[in-house]
Structure 1
């Protein structure tokens, strides 16, 4: 089923992909300007390249640290959330993982589960995956707690699921985990930049994220934030000249780790993703986040009502307090998800599907008109299928 539309594909009013790539007004222009400035500096025949490049990386770190209210010198860059988690696994003392359990929920980001499955034998831990209940769309917090005993050396919590937008109750999970003596990490990817995350208030040992999605940055701009007391006992296996307090200490027999998060650095850091993402992070820093979240909630309500009218099963919590910024719904077997996406594109509405799961995330350039076009399409598709 298709429909004609007078809306240009670049309008943005029907953009619903913030669970994948975030957009903000003027992003393309800002990013082009930043990358042009980088190219001009990097291609100049002088000695100013590293000062500029590392300055862009430091600005990236500062903006992320401010956003997360992270302690000083506790946040560094990574390529993605998978490499950030791998760095933590490799850095923790062996007795915190060997012969113990690493706990994750069955609706964690699959890439992280792939990583942990592969590392479990090498690092001597048992991977315990808390399953979804039969017919459920997300893992219940109480099931995570039931599976979490003192044998758990590390627990990785998914703040917001990428397949349901379910938001876990970090406060209750953290309280239980502290009683068990576990190292606790939080994957904040699917909500960072939309919902407030305060490192000190949450009290997790580490957090991982990317600059994609609600942060509106570029690929390759991942972050690892580790609390200072945890940093002090970590010995990252992947290390290099940037892991030192003085990176220009080149005595090959006198390596020592930097006293802060820099010990998680290794060789010459990648800076392109930082330079490309800084404009988005600076835009974020200027926003009224209560207003942004309120707008998201109002648009999500419209999407949920449309799913109900169309008779599509809601795969996200109805209560906004238990939800991130996305709404997921299950399409009936009689409806081809790719046909739905083609119909939406014809209306300049952009979402995606994972199997029969339709994912819709209204964000900073999405308008009520764009969401209305989605709602009209869902109802029309449902009636056509019937």
Structure 2
């Protein structure tokens, strides 16, 4: 069987948990960046108006993706800065002497941030562990650890190492009964799995335009529900945090009335502009069919690797799984050699430790899955 793919047409692309692709991505991004360069280099005075208009288009498109009401969402460099802006803005009653609850399989960067902020802001980070021999934190373990001492819980919609999809309805309902703020990192699910900020109601949302939305790095977002937003006083603030960004009175700083209060210095416009084509492409797609396509290819991956010696490290039930299929390599397998061997055949994947991550998306094809299964079987048998 010929496992090489000289055309490199994306049929063997399995990296939607990392970057994400859509047809014509390079050309669409190139046109957006070219238009920005022409605008920014023009001998006129309209650069800022055009640049900020591009950023606003990014914000509007993102608001539509997750159903965020007008004025509750702004851009951020990444999920870590978005969470930092939110934590640094909260009234002390949510943090001081209380706990922030997080699962051990959250995105590690967010745990690093919370652990560093805890001593200064007076909260304790309570990390719910993965049970021995398992691959994700169980929802029931989150509920058991979630007491009235928890001032804030940060949920992971879909995990990056097991593709476990948490039961948001159940967890948010429990959080409301405990009187906690509830935030959710939707990075690994948004763009593929349905998510709206009011189904169920969450207090804040952080994400990025990478992964299933296929945008650029540096194009993160922060959504804060209106009731909480009114209470927030971000410590990371600057001239863009004001209602009138051109107010220069040093003694009259006042936060903007909406999510702009979470802005600070000059915003990163270029990442937003580069992600607009991806968001526009996504908005025109049949989202139900995108998910169905992913489910068909995911099922083929699981079935095709059942006899290879690889262990499924994701939930077998697709209702509890994101868009990725994670496989644990045998103890004697060389993870780097497996990834390199797949790449040589035009099959793009990655590993976290011995966890091989496979995420089929719009450009991935059944033929690509077939080639991956054949090549993977050969590499493992070696």
Tell whether the 8 Å contact from 1:22 to 1:214 is kept in structure 2 after alignment: yes
Q: Who is 1:248 aligned against?
A: 246
Alignment partners' CA distance in 2, 1:94 and 1:267: 24
Quote the RMSD (CA, aligned, Å): 1.0
Aligned partner of 2:166 among 161, 165, 168: 168
Aligned partner of 1:341 among 339, 344, 367: 339
> Cα distance, 1:106 vs. partner?
0.5
Q: Who is 2:34 aligned against?
A: 36
Tell whether the 8 Å contact from 2:309 to 2:330 is kept in structure 1 after alignment: no
Q: Who is 1:229 aligned against?
A: 227
Q: Who is 1:147 aligned against?
A: 145
> Cα distance, 1:248 vs. partner?
1.8
Q: 2:82 aligned with 1:84, yes or no?
A: yes
Q: Who is 1:291 aligned against?
A: 289
Q: Who is 2:351 aligned against?
A: 353
Tell whether the 8 Å contact from 2:102 to 2:155 is kept in structure 1 after alignment: yes
Alignment partners' CA distance in 1, 2:165 and 2:183: 15
Aligned partner of 1:207 among 162, 184, 205: 205
3-state secondary structure, aligned to 2:231: coil
Gaps of 5+ in 1: none
Superimposed CA distance per residue, residues 24-47 of structure 1 (whole angstroms, 9 cap, x where no aligned partner):
000000000000000011011110
Alignment partners' CA distance in 1, 2:23 and 2:29: 11
Tell whether the 8 Å contact from 2:3 to 2:371 is kept in structure 1 after alignment: no
The correspondence of residues 169-208 of structure 1 with structure 2, limited to 5 A, is 169-208=167-206
Q: Who is 2:273 aligned against?
A: 275
Q: Who is 2:376 aligned against?
A: 378
Q: Who is 1:114 aligned against?
A: 112
Alignment partners' CA distance in 2, 1:196 and 1:108: 20
> Cα distance, 1:116 vs. partner?
0.7
Alignment partners' CA distance in 2, 1:23 and 1:247: 36
Alignment partners' CA distance in 2, 1:115 and 1:241: 25
Q: Who is 2:315 aligned against?
A: 317
Q: Who is 1:54 aligned against?
A: 52
Q: Who is 1:23 aligned against?
A: 21
Q: Who is 2:214 aligned against?
A: 216
Q: Who is 2:71 aligned against?
A: 73
> Cα distance, 1:334 vs. partner?
1.3
What stretches of structure 1 move > 3 A for 4+ residues in a row?
3-6
3-state secondary structure, aligned to 2:379: helix
Tell whether the 8 Å contact from 1:306 to 1:375 is kept in structure 2 after alignment: yes
3-state secondary structure, aligned to 1:308: coil
The correspondence of residues 129-140 of structure 1 with structure 2, limited to 5 A, is 129-140=127-138
3-state secondary structure, aligned to 1:214: helix
Alignment partners' CA distance in 1, 2:9 and 2:143: 45
Tell whether the 8 Å contact from 2:99 to 2:124 is kept in structure 1 after alignment: yes
Aligned partner of 1:11 among 9, 12, 15: 9
Tell whether the 8 Å contact from 1:306 to 1:379 is kept in structure 2 after alignment: no
TM-score (norm 1): 0.97
Alignment: residue pair count: 382
Which stretch of structure 1 is more off in the superposition, 186-195 or 252-261?
252-261
